[in-house]
Each structure stands twice: as structure tokens, then as C-alpha cells.
Amino acid sequence: MTHMFATAAGGATSLLRLTFIDLVIIVIYFGAVLAIGFYLKKYARTGEDFFLAGRKMTAWIAGLSFISANLSSLETMGWSAMAYQYGMLGAHAYFIGAIPAILFLAIVMMPFYYICRTHSVPGYLKLRYGEGPRAIAGVTFSFMTVMVSGASMFAMAKILNLLLGWNMNVSIWVSSLTVAIYVALGGLRSAVFNEVLQYFLIWGGSLLIPILGLIEAGGWTGMIEKIQRHAPVIHPTVSSADFTSLWRNLGSFDTNPMGIDWFGMVFGLGLAVSFGYWCTDFLQVQRVLVAKDLRSAQNGTIIGAFLKMMVPIIVTIPGLLGLAILLNPDGSPMVLVPESDPRAGITHHTYNEVLPLLMGKYLGPGLLGLGVTAMIAGFMSGMAGNVSAFATVWTYDVYRALLVRNASDRHYLLMGRWSSIAGVLLSIATAYALFLFSNILEYLQVLVFFFIVPLFGAILLGMLWKRATPAGGFWGFLTAILVSISMWIYVHTFPDGWRPQPKVTLSRGAVVSLERGADGKYNTIVVESGEVELVNVPGVSGGEIVTPVTIPPTVAGKGTDVAVQILAPEVVLSDKQEKTGFGVEAVPVVLKPGIKLTAVQITKKFAPAAFNPKHTKLIARSEKAKPMAVNMYSAWWSFVVCVCVTFLVSLFTKPKPESELKDLVMGLTKLPDEGPCPWYKKPILWATVCAIVLVAINIIFW
């Protein structure tokens, strides 16, 4: 069977074109954040000011910052892409994948974090278990923040280059120096204020897209009807899957596009990933630790939960709209592909471009500037959040804990400022490293799972079970990290060898003639001149061709025929002498004499880009599990291992005396009396309302 791929993405022109007014809006944003940074410098005079914003934040600012730190552009573009790929299941990240964990943090965990007056989550580990777990958490967290910050820079530079044609070096240096200036000057307060600002910009710049999209799609029912019509064309490998339900399609692995069942969703995403991320990722927790009192910290967290439930309006709905209303000029659905797809950026747009494509479709001069500003603000705020968290953890949990123990507050404040700048420089170095090893970007999200989920297991037991011992916490944490990494290696290991799909790549400038059938599809591609690279095409050797060679449309694989992909990023049509680009598969290719041919056979025992179905089945209970499903199940097993090992080791080792666990463990922590509180400010009330709203949303979109 011949598959035609859309050629909409061909060509080197930018996806979006900015006008003067758009540039003015962007420049004003940079001016504003720098002005705020300089203004806030005078309020960062002590370590507590710099690292914890003086613990003066109101519930609203803490809540907005808490959610905004998580609403970076990688997040908004990434989860729009998820909605395009997995349909409405993508919204679970904002419902069961966040809300129960955020409410748990607010009601159960926040009192411990707040009352023990820790500067950081690793700091809590030190108080509860000792230096060992703190050192692991401090070092891994510092590493992660720099990696994620660098990835954010790299992604921003790449996206701005793709969308607007901006020079990548300029994007990286301008944005990172701006972040370095305002974080080094104002510390966490500066980061928090810019996050609050960014939250308003993101809504102001993004909310129009779902409004206009739904108008064009004919309302909600019109969008759902179009998705059901287009999804089998866009995602043929899961053509029978239901893209428009939250739970109805989770009865088995086959009925949803993620290849997951309800157990994986509830326990993998809803428990392990979600609780790990929201309850123990210091980047998040730091945002509410800075509240002026415990009640504000709790209410701020709950405000964050309400705000989080609203985010699918600007993230999930655009992804769904991508399935419904993004069309090719001939009216057929536009097919987007994953970043790892060889056609990405040549003949096809990628999943990650679904939001920018909609921006280009609906936003005119001025609005587009605001949309791009929101995107830049999202990236920069993501960097600032990571850099400020890095500065805190580095200064308190690595530098002060391991290197210089008893210096003055002024010394640590200075270290905080310099480590903010160092964090930005390390992030820049990471961003440039990603230029060389861009595929690392795909694995960064997995990196978070490696450390965050085990951390949650250790902290949860530490808070709720006074018998958990320092040895139990250390070994549970470490073992779960190792198991997590082992599972990742296991699902990407191929004892019998993995062979990438056979591929024919035509060099830039190669001359071709295309023979089409009556239906307009290609019957044969004839390559007249140029260079051709073959990957995993058997029976053809390299060198200059003497007699015509025909590459068959399919080659024999293990038990089934595999289609040969043909990629032509930029070739010349022999009859019209016009440049074109295309990507097709399962079309015979004829190579004329004189063509220089390179032929390679690739077989790998370990391939991070591919999943071994047999191994996947053992981890995620289905051979059809998609990467996200594998991540969720891996997180679940890692959490189980952490809890079991901590429990077992604790049974055989000596616990800390109760006097040392005061204010750290349930049953040994007395909540402070914060005075009378009107009923409408009680955290438990709003947590209950939030939980009811969550249940209602899940029933409505069941």
C-alpha cells in the first residue's frame, strides 16, 4: 500500500511572521522584567530574602507562582502535543495527574515542610534521615535543574528559529543573560514575580486560540465530531482508539491511543508520577514554602490546584483542535509527526508545533506578538525557576552541607547570587551540548522520573511513619533510583537486535522525476542524478551505479514486510526544474547510472529511541504501551520498590529517637496556632470544593 505524506512543512520559510508592533510588544516585555529585577534588588538583603523571598508571599502569589513555575512553554507546547497525540487523555496530567497530589501536599505534607523551617526538600531529608539521602537528593537535583534549564534554553532557541527564523545563539544569550540579571539581583522574589507576570501573559496570549478554534470548529460537539472523523487518518496505527474520552476508553490497552489501562493511569500517573512531582519536586514546593504563614502556604497550594484545573483550556483544547481543524490546502487533515520521525521538519510539522500552527492561523499583528511574548516568558520563567531552585539547593544542600559549613549569612547570600549566574552559565553550556546531542532532550523527562518518584517514596514514609530509619530512607531512595534507571535501560534493550526502518534519503539538489498514478499518488520515483543514502535496504551495495537499480517498496522483516521510507528534503524536478521536498513510503525507487550510493546496515542492541515490545509488556503490562504509558508504569514500580525497601530495611535498623523527629513526622508535630480563621479561609473547605470540582469534571468528560 502506498502512503502519501503531506508536504506542507517543506521549504525554509518561517512558520510565523512578526510585524513591527509584535516586536515592540516583545521588547517591552524584556524591559519590564529587567526593570522588576533592578527594582527588587533592594529587597534581597539576607539569605532568607534571597532564597525564600523573605517568606512574605500571600496565598494568591504563592499559588500563582506554584502553578506558573510548572507552566513553562515546554509544558504548554508539550502537553498540547500530547493532546494531539493521545487525545483527551492528555488532560489527565491536569486532573488526576495533579489535583489529588496538590491537595495532599496542601493538607498533609505542607505542615511538615513549613513547620520544620527547611530551606529545601533535600533539607527536609537531612533533618529526617541524615546527610546521605540529602547528599543524593542535593546533587541529583542540582544536576537536574541545570539540565532542564539548559533544555529549556535549547528548546526556546530551536523553536524561535523554526517559527521566526531568529538566530539561535542570539536567542540563547539574550534570554539567559536577562534571566541571570533578574534572578541574581532579586533572587527567588524576582523569579516568583516574573512567574506571576508570565501567568497573566500566557492566558492573555493563549486564551484566544481555543475561543476562535471552537468558533471555527462549530462548538464543542463540532470539534468532537471532526476529531472522530480525522483521528483514524492522522493516527492510523491506533485507528480504533477513542480520542475524546477521559475514562471510557481505559477499559483495555487497545481502546485508547496511549496503550494504557485505568490501573496505569491511576497508580502510575495519579499516584507515583503526580505525587512525586507535585509533593517533592523542590522547584514546585519552594513556591509555596515562601508563603507568609502556614495557612497561606496551604491556601496558596489549593489556589494552585484550582488554577491547574483551568490549564487544559489553553493546552489540551488546542491539541484537540489540531486534530479537528488543521487541514491541508486540499481539505484533508494535516498530519503532524513526532520529533523522532525522520520526516519531522522536512515534509511534516511535528506534534510540538500544533500550538504555534494554531497561533499562526488565528493571531494577527499585535496578538501574535503577545503570543510569542507569552512563549518567551514561559521559557524564561522556566529557566528562572530552575536557576533559583539550583541556587538554593546548591548553596544550602551542597555548598553549606559539604564544603563551607559555618560562614556568615552574607557569605551564603553572595554564594546564592554567584551560583545563580553559574547556574545560567551551566545551563548555556548544557544548551550548546544539546546542539551536538539533541536526542538527549527526549530523555530529559525520563530523567525527572528517575529521581523524583523515589524521593517521594522516601519522604512520604519519613513523614507518615516515625519508625522509618535513616538507613531505610537511604537504601530505599538509592535502590529505587537504580531500579528506575534499570527499567529504562531494559525497555530499550534488544537482545535480538533492533533495526531502524529501511530508508532511502536523497541528497539536497538531487534530480528526480515522479511518476504518478490516476489517483495522484506516486507510482515510481526515478532519481536521475545526485547522491543517495540507503539504510537497512538489503541486496544493494555502495559505490557509483553502473546499471539502473530498483529499490523495492517493501523489504522482508521479522515475520512481516516493512515499508521503505523515502525522504527528499530538497530535490529538483527534472521536467520543471523546480525545487520540491517530499516524504513517502512504500514506493519503488529507480536509481539511474552515475548516482553515488552509500549503503549501511544498522542493528542495535540498545536503542533509546525504540521500545522492545516484549520488555515493555513486562513493565507496562502491554506490548502496545506508548512511551508515556511505559513512563507511568515505571514510575509506579519505582515507587513500590522505594516503599518496600525503606520498610524492610527500617524493620532491621535503628530508628532515630523521637526527640529528634519532633516537627518532622506525623504524630510528633504540633500545628502552630495561627489565630482565629473565618470559615471561608479554611484550607480543608477549599480542598473539599476542589476535590468535588475534580470529580465533576471527570464525570462530565467521562
The footprint of other proteins (CB under 8 A) covers 19, 21, 24-25, 28-29, 32, 36, 39-40, 43, 45, 49, 54, 56-58, 60-61, 189, 193, 196-197, 200-201, 204, 208, 211-212, 215-216, 292, 360-367, 369-370
In residues, how long is the chain? 702
Measured CA to CA, the distance from residue 681 to residue 57 in angstroms comes to 16
To which H or E segment does residue 434 belong?
A: helix 409-436
What DSSP line would sit under 341-363, residue for residue? Answer: STTBTTTB-BGGGHHHHHHHHH-
In the complex with other proteins, the residue whose CB is nearer, 374 or 549, is: 374
Distance CA 692, CA 100 (A): 11
Beta carbon nearer to other proteins, 29 or 282: 29
The whole-angstrom distance between residue 492's C-alpha and the CA centroid of its chain comes to 20
Residue number, 179 or 260, with CB nearest to other proteins: 179
Q: What is the distance between the alpha carbons of residues 72 and 145, in angstroms, rounded to a whole number?
A: 14
Residue pair 470/476 in contact (Cβ under 8 Å)? The answer is: no
What type of residue is 586?
A
Least CB distance to other proteins at residue 119 (A): 18
Q: Give min distance, CB of 619 to other proteins, in A.
A: 43
Which residue lies nearer to other proteins by CB, 269 or 370? 370
User: Smallest distance, Å, CB 213 to other proteins?
Assistant: 9
What single-letter amino acid sits at 320? L
Phi, psi of 399 (to 5 degrees): -65, -55
Cβ proximity to other proteins, 268 vs 369, nearer residue? 369
Strands 522-529 and 589-591: parallel
| β-pair partners for 585 | 3, 565
Contact between residue 350 and residue 583 where contact means Cβ atoms under 8 Å apart: no
CB atoms within 10 A of CB 573: 13
Q: Name which of 18 and 93 has its Cβ closer to other proteins.
A: 18
Smallest separation (angstroms) from other proteins to the CB of 69: 15
Q: Please report how close the Cβ of residue 371 comes to other proteins at its closest, in angstroms.
A: 11
Q: How far is CA 293 from CA 58, 116, 120, 695, in A?
A: 8, 13, 16, 30
In the bound state with other proteins, the residue whose beta carbon lies nearer, of 193 and 351, is 193
**Residue 677 Cβ, how far from other proteins at the closest point, in Å?**
13
Q: How far apart are CA 175 and CA 156, in angstroms?
A: 9
In whole angstroms, the minimum distance from the beta carbon of 366 to other proteins comes to 4
Identity at 159, one-letter amino acid code: I
What are the beta bridge partners of residue 549? 591
User: At its nearest, how many Å lie between other proteins and the CB of residue 57?
Assistant: 6
With beta carbons less than 8 A apart as the criterion, state whether 531 and 570 touch: no
Q: Residue 688 in contact with residue 85, Cβ under 8 Å?
A: no
Least separation, in Å, of the C-beta of 87 and other proteins?
23
Q: Least distance from C-beta 368 to other proteins, angstroms?
A: 8
Cell of 612: 522492545
**Shortest Cβ distance from residue 300 to other proteins (Å)?**
11
Rg (alpha carbons) of the chain, rounded to whole number: 27
Angstrom distances, CA of residue 600 to CA of 267, 350, 359, 541: 43, 27, 41, 8
Closer to other proteins by Cβ: residue 242 or 353 = 353
Nearer to other proteins, 250 or 370 (CB): 370
Nearer to other proteins, 87 or 371 (CB): 371
Is 292 or 592 the residue whose CB approaches other proteins more closely?
292
Beta bridge partners of 565: 503, 585
Residue with cell 521566526: 164
Instruction: Tell me how far apart the alpha carbons of residues 557 and 236 are, in angstroms, rounded to a whole number.
Output: 20
Question: Cα–Cα–Cα angle for 680, 685, 688, nearest 5°?
Answer: 150
Q: Closer to other proteins by CB, 21 or 177: give it.
A: 21
Locus of grid cell 539547593: 393
Nearer to other proteins among residue 388 and residue 646 (C-beta) = 388
Cβ-based nearer residue to other proteins, 212 or 607 = 212
String of DSSP letters for 473-530: HHHHHHHHHHHHHHHHHHHTEEEEEE-PPPEEEEPTT-EEEEEE-TTS-EEEEEEEES
For residue 702, the minimal CB distance to other proteins (Å) is 31
Least distance (Å) between residue 326 CB and other proteins: 11
Shortest distance (Å) from residue 574 CB to other proteins: 30
